[in-house]
Every structure is written in C-alpha cells, then in structure tokens.
C-alpha cells in the first residue's frame, strides 16, 4: 500500500500502469484491480528531473 507523505517533494506526478488489463491507475494514484495477473505501477515526477518510482502489483 502506498502512503502519501505529509509534505510531498513533487507536487505533480504522472501515474501509469504497465498492464491495464490487470490494474488501472488514475491521475491521483488510486489503483483499481481489473483482472488477474501482475503489473507495475509507475509514478513519475513532472518537474523534468526524470525521477520515478515503481511498485509491483499482483491481482489474484
């Protein structure tokens, strides 16, 4: 489970799912399971730094 920091370093993030047949993620980072399998959810900073974080997700 991802938790929001009290004072996020990056105000705007782009969220993506590597496999939207398994899980979808909205613009606020809320993940919704769609089907069984595995995917990777990525949050990328929109400040041009190129910083990102990935989270492995398994839906069973």
DSSP labels for 1-60? -----SS-S-S-EEEEES-TTTEEE-TT--EEE-SSEEEEEEEEESSSS--EEEEEEEE-
Examine the pLDDT at 2 and tell me if it is beyond 90: no
Give a yes or no: residue 26 inside a domain: yes
Q: What pLDDT is recorded for position 56? A: 98
Domain-embedded: residue 19: yes
Residue 3 belongs to some domain of the structure: no
State residue 11's pLDDT score: 73
Q: Quote the pTM value.
A: 0.81
- Give residue 47's domain range: 13-59
Please write the tens of the pLDDT for every residue from 9-49: 667 999 999 999 999 999 999 999 999 999 999 999 998 88
Whole-number pLDDT of residue 10: 61
57 - beta bridge partners?
39
CA distance 15 to 30: 9
């Amino acid at each position: 489970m991802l938790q929001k920091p009290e004072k996020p370093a990056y105000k705007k993030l782009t969220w993506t799912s590597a496999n939207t047949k398994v899980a979808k993620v909205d613009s606020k980072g809320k993940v919704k399971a769609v089907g069984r399998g595995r995917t990777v959810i990525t949050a990328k900073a929109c400040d041009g730094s190129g910083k990102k974080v990935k989270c492995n997700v398994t839906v069973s």
